[in-house]
């Protein structure tokens, strides 16, 4: 799409099918990581501290330009930088397959399930699905400038939500009010409502409209300024309110529509006058609305539906963006199609929208087994929708039945497991990782006792790397591949 770099970060749940397991989920996460890097040699483990919670060996970059690492004990996969929706969907699927195949290679697939969802029904924990969008540094990153994005994000869950049984308990969090930081409970925040089903998994866990922190104070728009690129040219919009999608269609539509709305904001063409009165409450009310009317109140005190708001953004996108490239036209056409179908029977969306697919499966099972929504079996089926084992996952059952449209192919996913997109800097990083994997000297991280042994064999970050004995090599432009430059930089140390 036009002037856009996309990226996804997925935190995986890990379910052990034993009443009294010998090992914890974190232990299995370590085994999976070590198998990927040390046995399959899919990439290079970090040799340096990336932070106080990321010691050497915690994770590393892959040959496809992405990363696998442990975050607070669970596995996380970050896709490489992608310049197209087709690449980001394939790269996202590649991460799923990399980790699932590692489980199978370790011989524990009968005992352990990898779950690509955002909630733990037992502990009420939440796992993130973070989206990254590169924008110009001139992007109006202020409350006023971001107001259209806030409205869009609150309402887009009607087609991006993954759905869940029940609701989360009230969140113990602090929010910003004017210049004060106060407990959310002090402003009458509600939660813990007994619900049969809601359309989003993450909405219950979002407690702010804008905030910099990412844990316990999750915001609709995360405000930290970490571009991972030239800070004079770029800003990275980092979102953590979204659900992990199983449907390729939903993933592409989520990223594509958000990318177009960012373009409209950049160009000063986004719809105006749609500021929501209480964005966090509206986010949760839309998710929890059992009638699916999805009505919210604007700051103007006008009541409007999420569907009507989305159609205003769509109309604006058609007027200003249609015809600029093939992917844009696909997004606009599918955006229109899904909004139209949302006005009718939700079953029309099965295979394209995750919450609709899950709800249909659960309703079918409830009717056949004569269960009410309080039956714990439904929570188990909720998780099974996200099981990445193709023989067990309910989503893959829909896929086998031909109910799920594909945006990529198995062959492209297999390729994305090993190869980076060829039109972003991930391509140059991939060449670096491959070179170091084949270099005995560079992989010798045990050298010590000499001054040069104090520096690790390599240090790799998203926008810069350094190989021992060579100057740092910055890669500030995510749109450049740097392939020839990386090869030239490494040539003198090839042995």
* Count of alpha carbons within 13 angstroms of residue 221, beta-carbon side: 24
Q: How many residues does the chain have?
A: 495
Interatomic CA distance for residues 131 and 200, integer angstroms: 16
Whose tokens are 């402003």? That residue is 187
Interatomic CA distance for residues 10 and 95, integer angstroms: 9
Per-state percent for the chain, helix, strand, coil, to nearest 5:
40, 20, 40
Q: 153 CB contacts (<8 Å, ≥6 apart)?
A: 220, 221, 239, 241, 258
Interatomic CA distance for residues 354 and 251, integer angstroms: 10
Interatomic CA distance for residues 228 and 226, integer angstroms: 6
The pairing of beta strand 129-136 with beta strand 59-62: unpaired
Q: 325 CB contacts (<8 Å, ≥6 apart)?
A: 1, 2
Interatomic CA distance for residues 450 and 226, integer angstroms: 35
Interatomic CA distance for residues 442 and 114, integer angstroms: 33
Instruction: Report CA dihedral (344, 349, 353, 359) to the nearest 10 degrees.
Output: 80
Contact 32, 75 (CB under 8 A): yes
Interatomic CA distance for residues 456 and 448, integer angstroms: 10
Contact 467, 493 (CB under 8 A): yes
Rg (the chain; Cα; Å): 23
Interatomic CA distance for residues 188 and 428, integer angstroms: 51
How far CA 115 is from CA of 78, 90, 246, 392, 453, in Å, comes to 16, 18, 10, 11, 41
Contact 126, 115 (CB under 8 A): no
Nearest alpha-carbon partner for 321 in 257, 272, 252, 273: 257
Quote the tokens at residue 230: 């030239």
Catalytic residues: 71
């Amino acid at each position: 799409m036009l002037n856009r770099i996309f990226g996804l970060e997925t935190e995986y749940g890990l379910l052990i099918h034993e009443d009294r397991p010998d090992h914890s989920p974190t232990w299995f996460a370590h085994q999976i990581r070590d198998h990927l890097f040390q046995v399959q040699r899919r990439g290079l483990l970090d040799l340096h501290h990336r932070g106080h919670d990321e010691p050497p060996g915690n994770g590393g970059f892959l040959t496809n330009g992405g990363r696998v690492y442990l975050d607070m004990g669970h596995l996380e996969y970050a896709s490489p930088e992608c310049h197209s929706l087709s690449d980001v969907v394939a790269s996202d699927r590649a991460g799923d397959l990399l980790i699932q195949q590692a489980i199978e290679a370790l011989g524990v697939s009968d005992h352990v399930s990898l779950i690509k969802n955002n909630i733990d029904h037992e502990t009420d924990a939440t796992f993130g699905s973070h989206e990254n969008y590169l924008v110009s540094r001139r992007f109006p990153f202020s409350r006023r400038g971001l107001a259209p994005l806030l409205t869009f994000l609150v309402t887009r869950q009607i087609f991006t939500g993954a759905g869940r049984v029940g609701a989360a308990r009230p969140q113990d969090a602090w929010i910003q009010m004017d210049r004060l930081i106060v407990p959310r409970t002090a402003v009458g925040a509600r939660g813990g409502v007994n619900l049969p089903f809601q359309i989003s998994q993450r909405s219950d866990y979002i407690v702010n409209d804008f905030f910099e922190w990412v844990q316990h104070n999750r915001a609709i728009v995360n405000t930290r300024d970490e571009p991972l690129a030239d800070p004079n040219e770029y800003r990275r919009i980092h979102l953590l309110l979204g659900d992990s999608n199983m449907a390729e269609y939903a993933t592409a539509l989520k990223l594509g529509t958000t990318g177009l709305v960012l373009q409209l904001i950049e160009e000063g063409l986004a719809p105006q006058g749609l500021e929501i009165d209480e964005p966090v409450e509206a986010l949760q009310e839309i998710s929890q609305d059992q009638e699916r009317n999805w009505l919210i109140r604007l700051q103007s005190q006008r009541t409007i539906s999420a569907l009507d708001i989305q159609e205003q953004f769509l109309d604006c996108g058609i007027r200003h963006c249609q015809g600029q490239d093939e992917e844009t036209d696909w997004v606009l056409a599918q955006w229109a199609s899904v909004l139209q179908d949302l006005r009718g029977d939700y079953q029309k969306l099965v295979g394209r929208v995750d919450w609709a697919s899950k709800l249909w499966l659960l309703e079918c099972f409830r009717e056949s087994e004569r269960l009410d929504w309080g039956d714990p079996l439904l929570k188990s089926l909720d998780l099974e929708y996200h099981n990445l084992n193709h023989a067990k996952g309910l989503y893959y059952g829909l896929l086998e039945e031909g109910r799920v449209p594909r945006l990529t192919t198995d062959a492209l996913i297999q390729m994305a497991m090993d190869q980076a997109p060829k039109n972003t800097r991930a391509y140059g990083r991939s060449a670096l990782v491959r070179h170091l994997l084949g270099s005995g000297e560079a992989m010798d991280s045990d050298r010590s006792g000499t001054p040069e042994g104090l520096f690790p064999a390599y240090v790799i970050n998203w926008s810069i790397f350094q190989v021992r004995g060579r100057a740092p090599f910055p890669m500030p432009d995510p749109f450049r591949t740097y392939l020839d430059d990386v090869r030239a930089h490494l040539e003198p140390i090839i042995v």
